[in-house]
Structure 1
């Protein structure tokens, strides 16, 4: 009797690897793993080739909290959030045309890293971040105008990291730090 060949182990993609690295960094920043354990697990994640190897790297981490993604969408008009509001871990903002204004200066930010994904057609967007925030716009793709943002010279440690990604068609994104 001949045995059937086993399925080859499924290989991981760069996206899978990047997601694992992000989860490890978040677990470290939330105090779930030590610096030494982070280094060891990052090495394992970056050298993993199969899903089973990657799963073992993430095995003992706490589960990701459900409901940490919110989407704000409008075909046109204005999207605005200001004052005291709870910022989700991942905020998706979608608008075909119109203005977007997000003010995070007095918002409740419970996560050390907040991802804001913009999918905007036309119109401008303005985001005000907390004074001590660290802003990353490397993954934002603009079609027409460049993003207006000056990094702060002096920022206090401990502020949230705001990562802004996505695409903007015709319009400009202006990011500024709150004065207070």
Structure 2
């Protein structure tokens, strides 16, 4: 089988996305061209299709020559482990607790994934302590106003390419977005980021590439504050 007909993996698509970002930074592609090529890259199934978005870019290594990086078994000297929030530890069953209510189930995390799609999470959905938003060229709305919280503090990890992400939180909630890195995009916090005294505190971190993420209150709450009611 020819190399161009070999199937590609998610790691190879991610690699091509990073190459396209570098091409934008070097002025070889406009944002419109980047969006079109990312669309093609994310939908590609073979190396030939994936290489088509790189063929006219000088100095770019084609995907047939790409090998996923090998990571050492132990970290290099001076390496600092990124902050990871501690996993929730349910209380031990006591005279007033039962096993059924002392755990959140098999996992304390959930993933919201979008690939060139629209995803709305709203209503009385159960929010775990750790939420991952993994998106590519999508429109994502995550509404916490009627959600059932398992913990007051929720960690939100973002891994995005060219999407629009909106986090809607209840009144008096706070959001910390200092850990968000925007590459050719934006991160906007329209919510208080002070003490964790309200019903919910979101700690948002991760990377937004050529997309945007916004944290805000519901429009009804904003209107009431505007008119002092």
The correspondence for 1:134, drawn from 152, 158, 174, is 174
Q: 1:161 to 1:76 in 2, by over 3 A?
A: same
C-alpha distance in 2 between matches for 1:111 and 1:129: 14
User: Residue by residue, what CA displacement relative to the aligned partner does 1:131-176 show, whole Å, maximum 9, x if unpaired?
Assistant: 1212111111111232122343998934221011111111111110
The correspondence for 1:107, drawn from 128, 133, 147, is 147
TM-score by length of 1: 0.61
For residue 95 of structure 1, what is the aligned residue in structure 2? 135
User: SS of the residue aligned with 1:114?
Assistant: strand
Q: 1:156 to 1:169 in 2, by over 3 A?
A: closer
Name segments (4+ residues, structure 1) moved above 4 Å.
62-66, 153-156
For residue 111 of structure 2, what is the aligned residue in structure 1? 71
User: Residue by residue, what CA displacement relative to the aligned partner does 1:7-36 show, whole Å, maximum 9, x if unpaired?
Assistant: xxxxxx7438x55xx549x78xx999xxxx
The correspondence for 1:174, drawn from 214, 223, 227, is 214
The correspondence for 2:121, drawn from 74, 81, 106, is 81
Q: Which has the higher strand share?
A: 1
C-alpha distance in 2 between matches for 1:154 and 1:63: 29
Over aligned residue pairs, what C-alpha RMSD do you find? 3.4
For residue 117 of structure 1, what is the aligned residue in structure 2? 157
Tell me the CA shift for residue 103 of structure 1. 0.6
Tell me the CA shift for residue 82 of structure 1. 0.9
For residue 81 of structure 2, what is the aligned residue in structure 1? 15
The within-5 A match list for 1:19-58 is: 19=84, 22-23=85-86
User: SS of the residue aligned with 2:81?
Assistant: helix
Q: 1:78 to 1:65 in 2, by over 3 A?
A: same
TM-score by length of 2: 0.49
With a CA cutoff of 8 Å and minimum separation of 6, indicate the structure with the bigger relative contact order: 1
Tell me the CA shift for residue 83 of structure 1. 1.3
The number of residue pairs the alignment matches comes to 134
Tell me the CA shift for residue 130 of structure 1. 1.6
Asked whether the 8 Å contact 1:131–1:155 carries over to 2, the reply is no
